[in-house]
Structure 1
Amino acid sequence: MASSAAPAPPAPAPPTPSASSTTLSSDGIPTLLTIPALGIKAPIVVTGTDPDGVPETPPFDRPDEVGWYGRTASPGSQGASVIWGHLDTPKQTAVFLYLRDLRPGAQIQVARDDDTEATFTVERVATYPDDSFPSDLVYNDPGYPALRLITCGGGFDRATHAYLSTVIVFARLTAIGSSANGSGTGPS
C-alpha cells in the first residue's frame, strides 16, 4: 500500500458485547492472519491514527505484517474489523500483493491473544477509486461480526507515489474455535 491512506472514519461507537455464542469477546487482540488460498500467514500489529486523524498502515520496513485498525471491532466480535496490509513497498512486494485475487468462499482465520480463532468466509472482493472510498461499508457495524481486508490497487501515480484505488475484501464470521488446537465450530 502506498502512502495514500483511506479516509478516517467517523469515530465509531465502542463494540457492543453480544450475549450470543456466535461472537467472540470484544477484548481479544488479533495476533495472526492466515489466508490459506493465498499462502498468507502474517503477524498482526495494532495500528491507530496519525496526528491528522488518518488511519495508520503497518510500517513499510515490515512488508510481511498486517495492521488491525484498533478503533474497529476485534475480529470475531460484533461489528466490522479492519485489517490493512501493503500491496508493495518502495523496495519490494508485500503481504497483500495478491489480495485482489481472493474469491468468494475463501476462508480467512484470525488468531487472537485470548487463544480463540475467528474464521471468516469471503463474501466479495471489490475495488474502489480512492475518491469514492466506501467508509460506511468498511467501518459501520453490518449487524454481524465482519472482517474487512484492505490494500491499495488500481493504477499507480508515479508523480504522487500512490495507488489510485483501494481493494477491499468483505468477509463474514462463519466459525469460532481455539487457536491452540485449530478446531472451530460454526455459529448456531
Structure 2
Amino acid sequence: MTRRITNGRGVLIAVVAVVLAALVVLALTLGGGRDPGTAQPPPAQPVAVVPTPEAQSQDAVAALPKSEPVSLDIPKIGAHSSLIPLGLNPDNTVEVPPVTTPLQAGWYTYAPTPGEIGPAVVLGHVDGNHQKGIFFRLKELAAGDRVSIGRKDGTTAVFEVTKVHQVPKKDFEGEGVYDDTAGPELRLITCGGVFDRNAHNYVDNIVVYARLVQA
C-alpha cells in the first residue's frame, strides 16, 4: 500500500514536470523568449532637426557692437530720414520727434542700438503740422519687408519685418515692445487708429516688429 502511494506520487511529479516543461517551451515560442513585464522598448531612432528658414537666418547673423544709428531707409513706403536721439519726458514716457518736423524720425537712446542684441526702437509721426509724417504709411508694412538702419560706425543693419500690430494705447504696456529678445531686433512705432479730437491724439499705436538679417 505504501509503495503504491509512493509510486503514484512519483508518476504525478513526473507528469507535472513534463507539463511545466511543455508550458515553458510554449511560452518561449510565443513570447520570443522575452518577459513582457520587463521588456524594454526598442531604442528611439535619431530624428534630424532641420531649422526653419527664420531660425537659420537668425542664427547666421551675428549681433553688432554698439553704434549710434544715423539714418533710416524703408523702400516699400518711401520712408527716408536721419535719426535724432530721443530720451524720456519728465513723466517717464518716451520722447518723440518734434511734431513741427513730422518727417523726422528718432531713436530711443535707452534701448539697444540697432544691431545689438535686444529691441532697438525708432519712433516717428504719422502726421503733424498739417503734413504727412515719416511713418504715415507704416501700417502698410508686412512680414518680409526690409528696413535699413545706417550706423555711425559705417555699417548698415538690415532688418526683416516679422509682424505689424495695431495696439490701443491703453494696452501698449502689455504689448511687450521693450521686452528683452534673444537676438538683435527692431521696433518701429507711430500713432494710428481713430483720431481723438478731445485728446488731440490718436487712440492706437502701430508697432512694427523686425529682426536683423544682414549686417
- The interval holding the TM-score normalised by the smaller chain is 0.7 to 0.9
TM-aligned CA deviation for residue 91 of structure 1: 2.0
CA offset at residue 21 of structure 1? 6.7
Query: Cα deviations across residues 64-107 of structure 1 (Å, max 9, x unaligned)?
Result: 11110100010000100010000001421111000000011000
Task: Check whether the contact 1:43–1:64 (CA below 8 A) recurs between aligned residues.
Answer: no
User: Is 1:166 matched with 2:212?
Assistant: no
Of the three residues 126, 149, 157, the one matched with 1:118 is 157
Paired position in structure 1 for 2:31 = none
Structure 1 residues 19-168: aligned runs within 5 Å? 22-26=62-66, 28-134=67-173, 137-168=176-207
Q: Alignment partner of 2:132: what SS? A: coil
Asked if the contact 1:81–1:146 (Cα under 8 Å) also holds between the matched residues in 2, the reply is yes
Q: What's the TM-score, normalizing by structure 1? A: 0.80
Q: 2: CA distance between counterparts of 1:38 and 1:101?
A: 7
Aligned match of 1:15? none
- Equivalent pairs, count: 156
What CA RMSD, in Å, does the superposition of the two structures yield over aligned residues? 1.4
- How far apart, in 2, do the equivalents of 1:137 and 1:121 lie? 19
Taking the aligned partners of 2:118 and 2:199, their CA distance within structure 1 comes to 34
Percent identical among aligned pairs is 37
Structure 2 CA distance for partners of 1:72 and 1:103, relative to 1, 3 Å: same
Structure with the larger RCO, 1 or 2 (CA within 8 Å, 6+ apart):
1
Give the 3-state SS of the residue equivalent to 1:126 in structure 2.
strand
**In the superposition, relative to structure 1, how do residues 136 and 79 fare at CA in structure 2: closer, same or farther (>3 Å)?**
farther
Instruction: Extract unaligned runs of 5+ from structure 1.
Output: 1-19, 177-188
Larger radius of gyration between Structure 1 and Structure 2:
2
Q: TM-score, normalised by structure 2?
A: 0.70
More strand by share: 1
In terms of fraction of residues, the more helix-rich structure is 2
